[in-house]
Amino acid sequence: MRFRETTTWTLARSFKIEPSFPLWHKHLNVTRWPTRAFRLARLALHVIVGLGVAGLIYPHVSSLRQDRILRWWGRGVLRALRVMPQVRGSVPPLDSAGVLLVANHVSWLDIFAIDAVKPARFVAKHEIHSWPVLGWLCARTGTLFIERDRARHAVHVIHAMRERMKVGISVGIFPEGGSSLGDHVREFHAALFQAAPQGGAVLPVALRYLDARGEPTTAPAYANEITLTECVRSILSQPKLTVELNFEEVISVSGRSRQELARATEAAIAKRLGVPIRPADIVPPQRSQLETAPDLPA
């Protein structure tokens, strides 16, 4: 299937400028402004209700009930934006043992798409904690924030991840170290894979977004210096989007190093998507410290 670069075209039309690449998809219709406004209003209403649930209910219920709330929240976000989840593979039930859920990263929608099917507590960069509204919401719903420039803090987060999985709570990570257009998988950083306890499992999830024609699209991609506002506008402009969630066979942790787990997981996801694995970006100092965090006992 040919990859349709819809994001830049949508933004170009929004700002009345010419895109810098061939307009393969120029004929693709975009939604009218009343439709975009209606979807945005639905999303805003869902966020308002979600803030109340996160503040008054979520912290006071069992982990199973919390999973159900996260599933409701994720489905509501997708429904408001007219993004349809399409699930392939075997999805573990809500009351199953906690796993390390690992996915490729394309969009800010990824977490909501996964939570709509298999809720997890995700690891996110520490900067998100300071974001208005969203940072508070993430903190209240169990997100683990990691300071990548502090190796000791990484060790603390890995301990917290492991403890959650031991009590049956799944934890999600995006080990590429950033998002992409979805036309490749970047080599996975291995540091956080050691959080999976011995006897546990890693669950690869391959994410792909499709347009109204069922073709791969970059419309939801939050990459290449695209701002969050521009990304939301691009999503709202699409008549319909589908997020394909491919749940692969679980990978046993027993007898595997964190590097072996990372390589096996990235290979499974790239194979499912039919895209190449590209070397990780040049490692900045903070990432280097994270990667050199000491191995922890199982």
State pLDDT tens for residues 245-286: 999 999 999 999 999 999 999 999 999 999 999 987 654 444
Residue 180 lies in a domain: yes
pLDDT at 290: 56
Total of domains in the chain: 1
Give a yes or no: residue 297 inside a domain.
Answer: no
Average pLDDT over residues 25-46: 82
Flag whether 65 is in a domain: yes
Closest CA to 181 of 225, 217, 232: 217
Task: State the pLDDT confidence band at 5, using cuts at 50, 70 and 90.
Answer: very low
Residue 134 confidence (pLDDT): 82
Alpha carbons 84 and 102: distance in angstroms, whole number: 21
Q: What is the span of the domain harbouring residue 243? A: 6-18+29-291
pLDDT band (50, 70, 90) for residue 129: confident
Residue 24 has pLDDT above 50, yes or no: no
Percentage of the chain modeled with pLDDT above 90: 68
How far from 166 is each of 70, 198, 200, CA to CA, in Å? 20, 10, 9
Q: What is the pLDDT of residues 204-225, one digit of tens each?
A: 999 999 999 999 999 999 988 8
Give the pLDDT mean for 183-210: 95
Other CB atoms closer than 10 Å to residue 180's CB: what's the count?
20
Average pLDDT, the chain: 86
Residue 23 belongs to a domain: no
The CATH number linked to 219 is 3.40.1130
- 10 Å Cβ neighbour count for 71? 16
Position 277 in a domain: yes
